[in-house]
Amino acid sequence: MTNENRQSGKNAYGKRNSKKRYLTYRKAANRKSLQPQKAKESVRIAFLGGMNEIGKNMTLYEYGGDMFIVDCGLAFPDSDLPGVDLVIPDFTYVENNADKIKGIIVTHGHEDHIGGLAYLLKRVNIPIYATKLTIGLIKGKLEEHNLLKSAKLVEIKPRDNITLGNFNIELIHVNHSIPDAVGLAIRCPAGVIIQTGDFKIDTTPVDGDMIDLPRFAEYGKKGVLALLSDSTNAERPGYTMSEKSVGESFEMLFRKAKGKRIVVATFASNIHRVQQIIDVAKSRGRKVAVIGRSLENLVSVGSELGYLNVPEGVLIDINLIRNYPDDKLVIITTGSQGEPMSALTKMAFGEHRKVNLTPNDYVIISATPIPGNEKMVGNVVNELMKRGVDVIYERMYDVHVSGHACQEELKLMMGLVKPKYFLPVHGEQKHLQRHASLAVAMGINEKNIYIGNIGDRIELSDDGIKFINTVTAGAVYVDGIGVGDVGSIVLNDRKHLSKDGIIIVVATIDSASGNVVSGPDIVSRGFVYVKENEALMNSARDLACRVIDESYDSKYHDWNSVKTKLRDELSKMMYDKTKRSPMILPILMEI
């Protein structure tokens, strides 16, 4: 080895001494390990609605003491909720963190995304960010509740960026069954989260504005921490048909209905569908009348904001339909889901004050029944047919297409976004599970997929996805003007009454002697027809009299024990004789 190489620390081959280099690297590594490691950043998500259910969508994001909400919707009650008008999310967690919440971003104007806003703003006044049409529909909701003047509404548009504390959110245009729908790119120090909102990929949309797939792809190239994606149609293979195909079907059906009056029932929020009906009606020389408060509001707001083009002279008041022959009329109505109080249902049963259907009517139900509504829709169709009406419904023709992505579109979204973690949202358990299996097929590790429940609060970071705890969340029932005052006890009573009826026992007792002065009278509602069951009622009266005599103590006046004994004895007797369990309500008065 030369002196030159020895002095320079190189070996005989002119290369630096590997042992010396190793020692240098090891010392540097030891110094680095002694330095404090920076904690991994994480973002937290709380699911307040829209999981394991259709509707009531609401998601809360939190990072570094800042929070914001995506959507605040409602759900409509099913047959298990007698008397309930609406179902909204439980806002307890939002109220408890009101000082941290910077705003609400609404993805689009459907009821399952905006319907709960008025009820939330009555508790916490938070700024609302939404696109033009969505703001217009929200204003109508808030005006009904006298909240419009106090609400802070901020109009935004696709590609806009909103800063809410530690979050910066970009809106990305998507196709849906209502204009101005957006997905969200949520940026914070933990990474980028994409929430699609309700979407489909329509290459020929009615408004000509295709989903902004390039923007989703740009985020995919840069790196996306997590994707929260609409699961509504995760069970359906292929692609969702374009809304334009419905317009072509309307053209054909309107020609087929020659000489008849046409009635079209559709979702009140589907402004594209309404536009196509108006366009075809105009081309066929027909006037258009609209029935249904929500539909009338949509036409008013859509026309005012420029989302609905109604040629002059085409739209007429429903009160003027008698002035036109049947072959010159189209009526657009609500009731495509067979709702009991809807206009179409009233028409079918001959109860509508302004429209009387005859065999010269041609009814098109431009919607597919929501799961659970099939029987109601079927009842309406049957009643319409009894009246001799021609009815086009469900899949007889292409008179309805979904606003939600099918499997191939869902996979395309995953392929573009390339998320590290995947969270299926907006659907029942079967939809979420099916969507998760699509993600696995797309190469996403099962460990990186999380199927949540309402109330779940999770944490996301590069290190992983994990469940933290459960927050207060669930369903609050709206009944008339009452919000939250109908709970499980009230609902159980309603179910009990609807199933077995009620028996009321009324008696007046002398407080001094304990003798029955008046009664006991037995009143029955929804249990048996009294006139045909006098013997049963007399037996009940005798039993009540005996129980009162045996149980009443004039000294201690223990009303509760007397009432409890009455309920128990009468319930046993009624079940023994009728195998029914009516609600027993004792009313005892003391004089």
3-state SS assignment for residue 517? strand
CA distance 396 to 460: 46
Report how far apart, in Å, the C-alpha atoms of 49 and of each of 56, 60, 73, 128, 476 are: 5, 10, 8, 18, 11
Q: How far apart are CA 72 and CA 57, in angstroms?
A: 6
Contacts of 451 (CB under 8 A, 6+ apart): 423, 424, 429, 432, 433, 436
**pLDDT confidence of residue 264:** 94
Three-state SS string over 121-165 comes to: HCCCCCCEEECHHHHHHHHHHHHHCCCCCCCCEEECCCCCEEEEC
Q: Which residues are catalytic?
A: 230, 404
Half-sphere exposure of residue 41, counting CA atoms within 13 Å on the CB side? Answer: 13
Measuring CA to CA, how many Å separate 326 from each of 251, 323, 330, 389, 570?
A: 18, 10, 8, 13, 61
| Residue 546: per-residue pLDDT | 81
Residue ranges for the chain with pLDDT beneath 50:
1-39
426 secondary structure, DSSP code: S
Tokens of 278: 């108006």
Number of neighbouring beta carbons within 10 Å of residue 101: 21
Which residue stretches of 153-309 are H helix? 213-222, 244-256, 271-283, 293-305
What is the pLDDT at residue 16? 42
Residue 196, classed as helix, strand or coil, is: coil
Q: In this structure, are residues 117 and 89 in contact, taking their beta carbons and an 8 Å threshold?
A: no
pLDDT in tens, 58-110: 999 999 999 999 999 998 877 677 677 788 999 999 999 999 999 999 999 99
Half-sphere exposure of 25 (CA within 13 A, CB side): 6
pTM score: 0.80
Q: Distance between CA atoms of 296 and 313, rounded to whole angstroms?
A: 17
Of 447, 374, 394, 427, which is closest to residue 236 (Cα–Cα)?
Answer: 427
Peptide bond into 311 cis (omega under 30): no
Give the 3-state secondary structure of residue 101: strand
HSE (side-chain half, CA atoms, 13 Å) at 13 = 4
**Under 8 Å CB-to-CB from 479, ≥6 apart: which residues?**
83, 84, 85, 485, 486
Q: Which residue has the tokens 């006044």?
A: 125
Rg of the chain's alpha carbons, rounded to an integer?
A: 32
Q: Cβ of 326: how many Cβ atoms within 10 Å?
A: 16
pLDDT value at residue 136 = 93
